Amino acid sequence: MNIYSIVLLILVSINTFAQEGPFTSSVSLVSMSMGYTEYDQSGNILDTEDSSYLELGGVEVSLGYAMAEDLSSSSEIIFNWMILAGETTYKGSYIDSELGYGSVVSTTLNTISDIDISYRYSRLLSNEFEISYGIGLGYRYWERVLSKSQVEEYAWYSIRPMFGISTINKDKLNLGVFVEYQYGFDTKMSAASLNHTFTLGGADILEISFPVSYKYEENIDFFFEATLQKQMITKSDKLYTGNANDYWYEPNSTAYNSYLKLGIECRF
């Protein structure tokens, strides 16, 4: 029995005996497609990491608490934790090689953890639509194992404002669109091969999500969500190893990632 089955069993057991209350809890299976690219200082591609939805996956769990609620508005605190693991295909070159991008193809092992706690306020626009907005504080960690000796760990905190609109459908099916910007701070990348931690110039994420939920029972929903995400990392400071022209640094990079989530949400 995997972790998803255990958490799902706990949620269903709780809600078999509980009436709807101020708490919400959810668990979902998550698949991720990664499209990551690093660039040199002239804008040329240094290397890429790519994966399909079948190569990177994991779970996301969530716990929410309704602080206030009336007929036209509500506010809640939400905690989310997503953890993913899997492989990407690396294309690049050996350091100081003249063969260039694509001369080396290998497999990278990845672990990604994303945690956030947020405040969200929702208000009815009409009998059919609801708007939501809020702000959160998050932490993102990415371990990138290119080889036994070359392990890179990216980590940063972020401020996360969000805005969204969703339908309130009496036929039990609800649709939504949510936009979130994650402004990173205390942005670091540690390189095991150099025994050094670089300070990144920035690490920010812009994402748009399209959730679909179906009310199965009064306090149980099934949901599917597709998320498109652009990640932007700005080059780091330099680690000089000799003269002014001999140094290491973490280059500029962008990532176009997408996530598919399928799960269950319970209110108790």
Tokens of 212: 């679909």
Cα separation values, 43 from 98, 154, 193, 253, Å: 17, 21, 25, 10
User: Model pTM greater than 0.95?
Assistant: no
Q: Output the pLDDT for position 62.
A: 98
Residue with tokens 């309130």, as numbered in its chain:
168
Task: Supply the pLDDT for residue 242.
Answer: 79
CATH topology for the 3-267 domain: Lipocalin (2.40.128)
pLDDT greater than 90 at residue 4: no
CA max distance for the chain: 70
- By the 10 Å C-beta count (0-12 exposed, 13-18 middle, 19+ buried), 84 is classed as buried
SS3 173: strand
What is the mean pLDDT of the segment spanning 102-125? 96
What are the residue ranges spanned by the domains of the chain? 3-267
Rounded to an integer, what distance in angstroms lies between the CA atom of residue 153 and that of residue 264? 32
Residues 6 or more apart in contact with residue 213 via CB below 8 angstroms: 173, 174, 221, 222, 223, 224, 265
Q: What whole-number distance in Å separates Cα of residue 80 and Cα of residue 24?
A: 12
CA distance linking residue 224 with residue 258, whole number of Å? 14
pLDDT digits (tens, 9 = 90+) for 28-69: 999 999 999 999 999 999 999 999 999 999 999 999 999 988
